[in-house]
Structure 1
Amino acid sequence: MARKEVAVAPWETLEAFVRERLRRSRLPGLSLAVVRGEEVAYARGFGFRDLERKLPATPTTRYGIGSVTKSFTALALMQLVEEGKLSLEDPVERFLPLRVRPFGEPVRVEHLLAHTSGIPALAYAEAEIRYDQGTGGRPLALAAVADFVAWLNGAEGWAEARPGERWFYLNEGYVLLGGIIQELSGLSYGEYLRERVLKPLGMEATGFLGEEAPELATPYLVPPEGRPRPGRAAPMAVGSDGALVSTALDLALYLRMWLRRGAPLVGEEAYRELLRPRVPVPGEPLWPGPLGPAQYALGLMVQPFFGRTLVGHGGSVLVYTAHLAFLPEEGLGVAVLANGSGYPLAQIAQAALALLLGEPLEALPFYRLEALGERIFGLYATYGDTLRVTLRPQAGGVELRVEDREAPQSVLLAWEALGEGEVRLRALLGDRALPVAVRLSDPPVLLYERYKLRRVGGLA
């Protein structure tokens, strides 16, 4: 597809988009870089890297990048494959004492890279991260690769599919991959990455959680209501699943490598293997649009985007989030990092790439959904104001709350369809699936159960 020429760089539109999302989500700070070919076309920070001291976020602010680390781990493994030290088809038990054989079949290196081991997530990272932040979870005493091998060896009965059949995101599998890198290279995972990946790319500002570093963003927990509060930038055992810390400008250097088809770190064949889709990722778009179903490759996701191929990966350690995305055909890439959770950074990356392609933001399904929310969220009242109901965003859907000081009732609605002049949703009430509709009139009208309500105000 021929590239649309954009007469003016869309930075003003992008900046307005980002600022509004920060305002809505109350994310403290965010840094962003856009790469076009070999050049950093745009880079800047938004908000604060430290709320208390009012220090601004910049393109050189450091953040934890969570599972974006997985693409680095996959890249490192492919370097070792190119050197003949292993094959993607090798059983993991060749390198580590892994005894798990889902339905009698060995788990291979490729299965861990593509999250197709057949073992559902054991949630070690979720437990450890929440325990470290004081929000839940529990300590698991998994301090080394051998601990993770033992942890997985106890989970044979947890397997749900044969290796290679189905996608189950498995952080623990990427910890084992870090162990394989250590076993074959004689270096720790961190040493290997510094020598073989970070140093050749000039990524001098990239390190690991728990290390002292200048301009490190204060990590924040962002509750649904109230002010963000500082969290902890806690280190992670091994770290090959999500422990890297980086900046927007350093990730721009990393993106340039991907846009050069892996050079100078891996050759053409390895690059193609890394980006070759292996397995569908569960979840379908709500409505037809430019973003097609996603598939997982090796440490990266791949999906259609305005007729191109969108490659990327997100990451979260709760108090830091990140997203990396690029369009190989167009030579365009985006890195987004934030010091909190609250707004999907993948959507900011998609907005930036759409604007660079000359496509309207309104074509993006999530943008349409947000615009729709602006129209329908708010306070509704029946005839005579005898009953009041609030619609607000909640958990990727919509919360319908019957207002009552003593006994408010709350129902979660799922988006179902956007019709002509009407939004259709669905509520689950016990054993009933109840259709709900919002007529996009002025003002909007809500039809819920036996009630008709008109919007009388916005959200507080």
Structure 2
Amino acid sequence: MDWQVVEGYVFEKMRKTNLPGLSIAAVKDGEIVYARGFGFRDVESGAPMTTQTRVGIGSVTKSFTALATMMLVEEGKLSLDDTIDKFVSISLRPFGEPVRLRHLLTHSSGIPALAYAEAFIRHVVGEDAPWLPIASVDDLKAFMSDAESWAVAKPGEKFFYLNEGYLLLGRTIEVASGKSYEAFVKERILEPLDMTRTTFRREDTASDPDWATPYVIDRDGKQIPSRFPFGISADGGLISTVLDLSNYLRLYLARGKWKGTQLVSPESIEQMETPYVPLPSPLFGAEGYGFGWSVYPNFLGHKLVAHSGSVLVHTAFAGYIPDAGIGVAVLANASGHPLSQIGMVTLATMLGKDPEMLPFVRHDKLLEKLVGRYETYKGTMSLQVSRKGDGILLETKGKLLESSIPFLPEEISDTYARFFTVQHSRKVVAEFFVDGEKITLLYERYKLVKVG
């Protein structure tokens, strides 16, 4: 396979979003078929990112927590129908219905995100955020003392991503196993899989020269060295490398077997990969959340099992396609271009598909094409189209006056795009027509043509 398509995509997205460093590893049929680092693990020293560079994997940790839960279910120490109050002294009964382990695993407790992790991470990196003294599950219980009043649905009815629920699962694992959450994960998952560079411990990174400096990309695109939010655990605290994560992906692709040893049953793996609750805003049609994994039943004709992770200063993506025997792990030391998109482009390429079949690749390409200066008839008026995330800005600037109006996408194809905004309580539309290199914009009373 020619990896130039993937490498070109990675480099361009890193360049445009100022990502300092990125590492990637791909597996196929039980082997690592590609692995390399891009850019810098530390910009100041010029140290490169490598396939062994340690990076926080954020919420990819949730799949480890779910896997640990399933191991204890297999041993009869837990049941998916156990209520959380059996293990943690906390009242979680939204609308009178008890929250069970399966609800926490699938983010279907009915309680919307309480944003403890968001506040904690933003505070650690120096952003404006309230201080939350949550250093343990006992602290979390105090924080969640009236969380059930925040619920908007009965358990099992609706997806609401809940980091706090995975912390409660971590405590459940401790009660059921008689070991700390971190010790159980290390003993039952990390050590058997030879994931020797995966850790929860700050001490391991402090003495490691191949540790990715965490960066915040500020509003001006500057790379600001920052701090890593140690203290998060079962919901997003693991630190790993793409090579270690490739072992983890191969466990799933081998249906729970590693080097001849069955660490978890194929049935448990399949339960984790089953979508139980629909995800909002699907990308490829009907999608759902399993146990610690998002499930995309129709990713270019295949089932994709994947998860992203972010602690703001480190980001991650891990995903695999069971029937094709392929998987990919991506890590970076800042928040820039979505690593999920880099991972999906890689998987599409490994399937032998053109990445432009992916909707976000096509949309991104068209948006870039729309950027430029537009003029009306004989240049009587001009405006600038610039990009703002997945939307656009229509801007005019003169000596005395200027305006900048954000528009959101409503419909995008290869030859047509419609965006909208609201002005003076009315919907205003901007339509672009693409005919080769000629691009026409219809906006309110005007017809404009791209001239530069």
Letter in 1 for 2:290: A
Gaps of 5+ in 1: 1-8, 286-290
Q: 1:27 aligns with which of 16, 19, 24?
A: 19
Q: 1:127 aligns with which of 109, 116, 119?
A: 119
Counterparts in 2 of 1:390 and 1:293: CA distance versus 1, 3 Å: farther
Find the counterpart in structure 2 of residue 282 from structure 1: 280
Counterparts in 2 of 1:209 and 1:397: CA distance versus 1, 3 Å: farther
Counterparts in 2 of 1:376 and 1:89: CA distance versus 1, 3 Å: same
Find the counterpart in structure 2 of residue 444 from structure 1: 439
TM (normalized to structure 1)?
A: 0.93
Residue 448 of structure 2 aligns to a residue whose secondary structure is strand
Shift of 1:384: 5.2
Is the Cα–Cα contact under 8 Å of residues 100 and 152 in structure 1 kept in the other structure?
no
Q: Deviations over 1:109-139 (max 9, x none)?
A: 0000000000000101111101111122121
Aligned residues: 443
Find the counterpart in structure 2 of residue 222 from structure 1: 217
Find the counterpart in structure 1 of residue 161 from structure 2: 169
Find the counterpart in structure 1 of residue 426 from structure 2: 432
Shift of 1:381: 3.3
Provide the C-alpha distance between the structure 1 equivalents of 2:241 and 2:423, rounded to a whole number of angstroms.
46
Q: 1:43 aligns with which of 11, 22, 35?
A: 35
Find the counterpart in structure 1 of residue 231 from structure 2: 236
Letter in 2 for 1:297: G
Find the counterpart in structure 2 of residue 307 from structure 1: 301
1:349-388 to 2 correspondences below 5 Å: 349-383=343-377, 385-388=379-382
Letter in 2 for 1:229: I
Q: Deviations over 1:360-382 (max 9, x none)?
A: 11111111011101210123233
Find the counterpart in structure 2 of residue 292 from structure 1: 285
Is the Cα–Cα contact under 8 Å of residues 320 and 326 in structure 2 kept in the other structure?
yes
Counterparts in 2 of 1:367 and 1:375: CA distance versus 1, 3 Å: same
1:43-442 to 2 correspondences below 5 Å: 43-208=35-200, 210-213=202-205, 214=208, 215-237=210-232, 239-263=233-257, 264-285=262-283, 291-303=284-296, 304-383=298-377, 385-404=379-398, 408-418=402-412, 421-441=415-435, 442=437
Q: Deviations over 1:142-191 (max 9, x none)?
A: 11111212222222221000000000000000011111111122222111
Gaps of 5+ in 2: none
Residue 348 of structure 1 aligns to a residue whose secondary structure is helix
Shift of 1:233: 1.2
TM (normalized to structure 2)?
A: 0.94
Of residues 419-428 and 45-54 in structure 1, the stretch that sits farther from structure 2 once superposed is 419-428
Structure 1 vs Structure 2: percent identity of aligned residues? Answer: 47
Find the counterpart in structure 2 of residue 6 from structure 1: none
Q: Deviations over 1:279-300 (max 9, x none)?
A: 0000144xxxxx3332100100
Shift of 1:386: 5.0
Q: Deviations over 1:387-412 (max 9, x none)?
A: 44332332432232333566543322
Counterparts in 2 of 1:369 and 1:176: CA distance versus 1, 3 Å: same
Provide the C-alpha distance between the structure 1 equivalents of 2:384 and 2:107, rounded to a whole number of angstroms.
40
Residue 121 of structure 1 aligns to a residue whose secondary structure is coil
Of residues 35-44 and 374-383 in structure 1, the stretch that sits farther from structure 2 once superposed is 374-383
Provide the C-alpha distance between the structure 2 equivalents of 1:233 and 1:40, rounded to a whole number of angstroms.
29
Residue 329 of structure 1 aligns to a residue whose secondary structure is helix
Counterparts in 2 of 1:419 and 1:324: CA distance versus 1, 3 Å: closer
Find the counterpart in structure 1 of residue 449 from structure 2: 454
Provide the C-alpha distance between the structure 2 equivalents of 1:293 and 1:379, rounded to a whole number of angstroms.
39
Of residues 436-445 and 326-335 in structure 1, the stretch that sits farther from structure 2 once superposed is 436-445
Shift of 1:420: 7.2
Is the Cα–Cα contact under 8 Å of residues 27 and 326 in structure 2 kept in the other structure?
yes
Is the Cα–Cα contact under 8 Å of residues 388 and 403 in structure 1 kept in the other structure?
no
